[in-house]
């Protein structure tokens, strides 16, 4: 007898765990399996982008990252001068000002996975370890509710005798046979039937192979070492990020980490076509020796190495990420590249963050499966941009610098690329194209809210909560719980005409038959459970009492119909924490007609609407994919 679940996640790395968080939060019946007996505890990815921390905030986890991580403030470029001596040539901020309310930070992947695992646990979902899939079958029958069957084998965990400081066991320099050596087969076998299966099983994805899909792109010709250590050095910039090109000995990157650790990325050598790296010849001593040569005349001792590994650089992508909208790939399973840009873990989590709410809505029968098409449309384009960036970045990073008249990579070109891509590498520059769940922009929409970009994520501004006078980051209200949001820029409540227009809009949204709130909120559910209205006035709180707002703006919820206090805000200066700049920040006229911003459950802006025709336009939008509850 097969066990049934809505979603089976294969692989509990960052992508799988982020998906698990969504499904646990939205009450979807999911299982998440991983072939490893234990989770990773050290090394691997460590860069956490601003946008990733914003998403962690929406799950209530950002504070844990901030407490444990090291925030990066500065990047220093070291290049050879005309005589070949290494000198710092420029310093720039690590995160461009006004990128996000959070800063680029570094913390090891194991801790980040801990936070995601704890978050999943609050929704009753836990990773099932030492489990590996054997086969995947798809039943095409239209009456089959759980069409994907995966046969799973419970592995017998192997005593792990490997050196805990070595990350070679997961490196891409291993052959498949070497990689699979630690999996001992022969345990119990079970069948899991699922509505949806998501392969978050990394660069060697078993799921991808079952679908017959493959990664395409460049094969590697350069290999790098990576090491986490507490170094002793006379390089003065060891506690800021350093990007260093030596004249003749190669390049390295230094990233200062939590607990006084330092991450080194060190160029080790080049490979001829078809040449394999000798795994047995790799060691931390060899990596340190290469680092010394690149850093000379600066000195380097590393008495304590916490973790090290060796990897090849290659940019590869699988352009098809779903099979019949029932089986999906996320994360490294469909894009791989060099780790130095600090992108892989972040982009992987953003893949499944994009997919999670859509799968949850489909699994519950709330939306048409056609919204799942947008997963590939949106994320393959991001992966393509990532590969393009990484290709340029790696070529310039690994190239020999042009010194004096000699041929080589232009350091000016490299630094210009770094600066130009700053917003992109923070994760905040992602913009999705128009689709079933994303409208096209127009001059009329732009005129309503000049800095609110359809297709981009909703940025934060400090606002003041009507009910308790607390200053709050507006985007903190975009909690990841599956709800859509209507952000109503209500305007000046001192203006009687504007107040009436706002009240009329709320009335229409709540009572008009075609309003998606009326149509798709189940009669027994809270008024804000499908679409939550967040109101921001340009006038101060004293102008209008909280209780004078219409019910839609401050709905009563739960069995006892408790009042809500966290949906109405003012753009006034707070007592202690600033504010008063939200209307200008979003580019909305504080004395104008106001507007409505439709935000998806993943914080992306789907539309900007005027008050008039708002309900009609929303009706057309949501009727395109919502399913009415019986």
The string of DSSP codes covering 442-462 is: -HHHHHHSTT--TTSBPPP-E
Strands 568-570 and 562-563: unpaired
# of chain residues touching ligand FAD (CB under 6 A) = 35
CB 437 within 8 A of CB 374: yes
User: How far is Cα 473 from Cα 486, in angstroms, rounded to an integer?
Assistant: 17
Integer CA distances (angstroms), 570 to 216, 269, 478, 537, in order: 51, 58, 17, 5
**Would residue 472 be called left, alpha or beta, if left means φ above 0 and alpha means ψ between -120 and 50 degrees?**
beta
User: What letter does residue 159 receive in the DSSP assignment?
Assistant: P
Please pick, among 213, 265, 311, 466, the residue that the annotation labels catalytic.
265
| Strand ranges, E, within 208-337 | 216-217, 222-233, 241-245, 251-256, 262-270, 300-312, 316-317, 322-323, 327-329, 335-336
Distance of closest approach, residue 5 Cβ to ligand FAD, in angstroms: 16
Residue 331 in the binding site for ligand FAD (CB under 6 A):
yes
User: How far is Cα 100 from Cα 56, in angstroms, rounded to an integer?
Assistant: 13
Quick one: 209 or 395, whose CB is closer to ligand FAD?
Answer: 209
Quick one: 13 or 482, whose CB is closer to ligand FAD?
Answer: 13
| Strand ranges, E, within 170-299 | 189-199, 216-217, 222-233, 241-245, 251-256, 262-270
Distance of closest approach, residue 417 Cβ to ligand FAD, in angstroms: 18
Residue 226 in the binding site for ligand FAD (CB under 6 A):
yes
Residue 15 in the binding site for ligand FAD (CB under 6 A):
yes
Residue 339 in the binding site for ligand FAD (CB under 6 A):
yes
Tell me whether residue 265 is one of the annotated catalytic residues: yes
Quick one: 140 or 176, whose CB is closer to ligand FAD?
Answer: 176
Look at the alpha carbons of 334, 338, 341, 346 in this order and tell me if their dihedral is positive or negative: positive
Quick one: 11 or 231, whose CB is closer to ligand FAD?
Answer: 11
Reported for 439-448, long-range contacts at CB under 8 A and 24+ positions apart, including other chains, are 439/606, 439/607, 439/621, 441/608, 444/610, 445/607, 445/608, 445/609, 446/608, 448/588, 448/593, 448/595, 448/608, 448/609, 448/610
Distance of closest approach, residue 176 Cβ to ligand FAD, in angstroms: 11
Tell me whether residue 223 is one of the annotated catalytic residues: no
Which of 26, 35, 398, 492 is in the footprint of ligand FAD by CB under 6 A? 35
User: How far is Cα 270 from Cα 389, in angstroms, rounded to an integer?
Assistant: 21
Which of 6, 31, 46, 389 is in the footprint of ligand FAD by CB under 6 A? 46
Residues 184-223, mask of contacts with ligand FAD (x by CB under 6 A): ----------------xxx---x-----------------
User: How far is Cα 529 from Cα 526, in angstroms, rounded to an integer?
Assistant: 5
Residue 8 in the binding site for ligand FAD (CB under 6 A):
no
Q: Specify the residue for token string 């798709």.
A: 520
Quick one: 226 or 380, whose CB is closer to ligand FAD?
Answer: 226
Distance of closest approach, residue 391 Cβ to ligand FAD, in angstroms: 16
User: How far is Cα 199 from Cα 413, in angstroms, rounded to an integer?
Assistant: 38
The interface region with ligand FAD, picked from 154-162, 229-237, 329-337, 406-414 by CB under 6 A, is 329-337
Instruction: Compute the residue count for the chain.
Output: 630
H or E segment and range at residue 381:
helix 373-398
Distance of closest approach, residue 322 Cβ to ligand FAD, in angstroms: 16
Residue 45 in the binding site for ligand FAD (CB under 6 A):
yes
| Residues between 417 and 456 that touch ligand FAD (CB under 6 A) | none
Distance of closest approach, residue 599 Cβ to ligand FAD, in angstroms: 25
Residues 589-608, mask of contacts with ligand FAD (x by CB under 6 A): --------------------
User: What letter does residue 98 receive in the DSSP assignment?
Assistant: T
| Residues between 344 and 383 that touch ligand FAD (CB under 6 A) | 344-346, 348
Which of 58, 100, 132, 603 is in the footprint of ligand FAD by CB under 6 A? 132
Distance of closest approach, residue 268 Cβ to ligand FAD, in angstroms: 13
User: How far is Cα 447 from Cα 60, in angstroms, rounded to an integer?
Assistant: 34
Which of 44, 51, 193, 477 is in the footprint of ligand FAD by CB under 6 A? 44
Residue 314 in the binding site for ligand FAD (CB under 6 A):
no
Distance of closest approach, residue 129 Cβ to ligand FAD, in angstroms: 9
Integer CA distances (angstroms), 251 to 77, 294, 476, in order: 11, 7, 40
Distance of closest approach, residue 51 Cβ to ligand FAD, in angstroms: 11
Quick one: 133 or 555, whose CB is closer to ligand FAD?
Answer: 133
Please pick, among 6, 46, 351, 607, the residue that the annotation labels catalytic.
46
Which of 9, 13, 482, 596 is in the footprint of ligand FAD by CB under 6 A? 13
Residue 11 in the binding site for ligand FAD (CB under 6 A):
yes
The shares of helix, strand and coil residues in the chain, as percent rounded to the nearest 5, are: 30, 25, 40
Please pick, among 36, 103, 208, 257, the residue that the annotation labels catalytic.
257
Tell me whether residue 257 is one of the annotated catalytic residues: yes
Nearest to 603 by CA among 490, 452, 462: 452
User: How far is Cα 61 from Cα 55, in angstroms, rounded to an integer?
Assistant: 9
Tell me whether residue 339 is one of the annotated catalytic residues: yes
Residue 47 in the binding site for ligand FAD (CB under 6 A):
yes
User: How far is Cα 136 from Cα 141, in angstroms, rounded to an integer?
Assistant: 16
Distance of closest approach, residue 345 Cβ to ligand FAD, in angstroms: 3
Instruction: Classify 287 as helix, strand or coil.
Output: helix
Cβ neighbors of 486 (< 8 A, separation 6 or more) are: 509, 531, 532, 533, 534, 596, 597, 598, 599, 618
The interface region with ligand FAD, picked from 44-52, 455-463, 492-500, 539-547 by CB under 6 A, is 44-52
Distance of closest approach, residue 75 Cβ to ligand FAD, in angstroms: 14
The interface region with ligand FAD, picked from 42-50, 499-507, 532-540, 546-554 by CB under 6 A, is 42-50
Quick one: 342 or 585, whose CB is closer to ligand FAD?
Answer: 342
Residue 12 in the binding site for ligand FAD (CB under 6 A):
yes
Quick one: 203 or 619, whose CB is closer to ligand FAD?
Answer: 203
Residues 54-93, mask of contacts with ligand FAD (x by CB under 6 A): ----------------------------------------
CB 565 within 8 A of CB 557: no
Distance of closest approach, residue 370 Cβ to ligand FAD, in angstroms: 26
User: What letter does residue 107 receive in the DSSP assignment?
Assistant: -
Which residues belong to the active site? Answer: 46, 257, 265, 339
Q: Which residues bind ligand FAD (CB under 6 A)?
A: 10-16, 33-36, 44-47, 109, 132-133, 200-202, 206, 226, 309, 311, 331-333, 339, 342-346, 348
């Amino acid at each position: 007898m097969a066990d049934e679940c809505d979603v089976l996640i294969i692989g509990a790395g960052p992508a799988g765990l982020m998906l698990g968080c969504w499904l646990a939060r939205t009450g979807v019946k999911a299982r998440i399996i991983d072939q490893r007996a234990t989770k990773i505890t050290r090394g691997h990815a460590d860069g956490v982008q601003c946008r990733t921390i914003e998403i962690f905030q929406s799950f209530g986890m950002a504070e844990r990252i901030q407490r444990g991580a090291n925030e990066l403030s500065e990047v220093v470029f070291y290049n050879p001068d005309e005589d070949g001596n290494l000198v710092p040539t420029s310093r720039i901020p690590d995160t461009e000002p006004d990128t996000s309310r959070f800063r680029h930070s570094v913390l090891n992947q194991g801790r980040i996975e801990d936070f995601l695992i704890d978050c999943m646990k609050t929704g009753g979902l836990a990773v099932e370890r030492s489990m590996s899939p054997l086969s995947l079958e798809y039943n095409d029958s239209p009456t089959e509710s759980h069409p994907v069957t995966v046969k799973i084998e419970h592995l017998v965990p192997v005593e792990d005798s490997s050196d805990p400081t070595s990350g070679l066991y997961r490196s891409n320099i291993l052959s498949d046979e070497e990689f699979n050596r630690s999996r001992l087969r022969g345990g119990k076998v079970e069948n899991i039937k699922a509505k949806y299966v998501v392969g978050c099983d990394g660069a060697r994805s078993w799921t991808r192979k079952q679908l017959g899909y493959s990664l395409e792109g460049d094969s590697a010709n350069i290999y790098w070492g990576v090491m986490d250590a507490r170094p002793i050095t006379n390089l003065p910039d060891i506690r800021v990020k350093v990007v260093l090109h030596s004249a003749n000995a190669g390049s390295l990157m230094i990233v200062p980490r939590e607990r006084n650790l330092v991450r080194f990325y060190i160029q080790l050598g080049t490979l001829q076509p078809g040449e394999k790296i000798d795994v047995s010849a790799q060691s931390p001593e060899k990596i340190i020796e290469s680092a010394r040569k690149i850093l000379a005349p600066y000195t380097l001792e590393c008495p304590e190495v916490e973790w090290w590994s060796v990897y090849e650089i290659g940019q590869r992508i699988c352009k098809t990420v779903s099979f019949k909208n029932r089986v999906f790939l996320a994360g490294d399973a469909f894009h791989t590249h060099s780790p130095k840009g600090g992108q892989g873990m972040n982009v992987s989590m953003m893949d499944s963050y994009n997919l999670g709410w859509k799968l949850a809505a489909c699994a519950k029968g709330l939306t048409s499966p056609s919204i799942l098409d947008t997963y590939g449309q949106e994320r393959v384009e991001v992966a393509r941009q990532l590969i393009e960036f990484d290709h340029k970045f790696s070529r310039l990073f690994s190239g020999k610098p042009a010194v004096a008249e000699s041929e080589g990579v232009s350091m000016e070109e490299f630094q210009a690329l770094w600066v130009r891509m700053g917003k992109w590498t923070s994760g905040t520059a992602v913009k999705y194209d128009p689709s079933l769940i994303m409208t096209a922009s127009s001059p009329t929409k732009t005129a309503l809210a000049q800095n609110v970009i359809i297709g981009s994520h909703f940025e934060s501004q400090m606002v003041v909560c009507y009910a308790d006078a607390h200053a709050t980051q507006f985007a903190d209200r975009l909690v990841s719980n599956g709800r859509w949001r209507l952000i109503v820029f209500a305007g000046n409540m001192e203006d009687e005409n504007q107040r009436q227009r706002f009240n009329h809009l709320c009335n229409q949204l709540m009572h008009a038959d075609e309003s998606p709130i009326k149509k798709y909120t189940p009669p027994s559910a809270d008024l804000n459970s499908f679409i939550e209205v967040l109101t921001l006035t340009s006038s101060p709180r004293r102008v209008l009492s909280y209780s004078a707002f219409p019910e839609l703006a401050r709905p009563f919820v739960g069995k006892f119909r408790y009042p809500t206090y966290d949906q109405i805000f003012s753009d006034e200066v707070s007592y202690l924490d600033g504010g008063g700049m939200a209307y200008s920040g979003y580019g909305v006229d504080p004395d104008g007609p106001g507007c409505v911003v439709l935000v998806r459950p993943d914080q992306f802006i789907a539309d900007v609407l005027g008050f008039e025709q708002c309900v009609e336009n929303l009706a057309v939008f949501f009727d395109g994919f919502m399913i009415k509850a019986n």
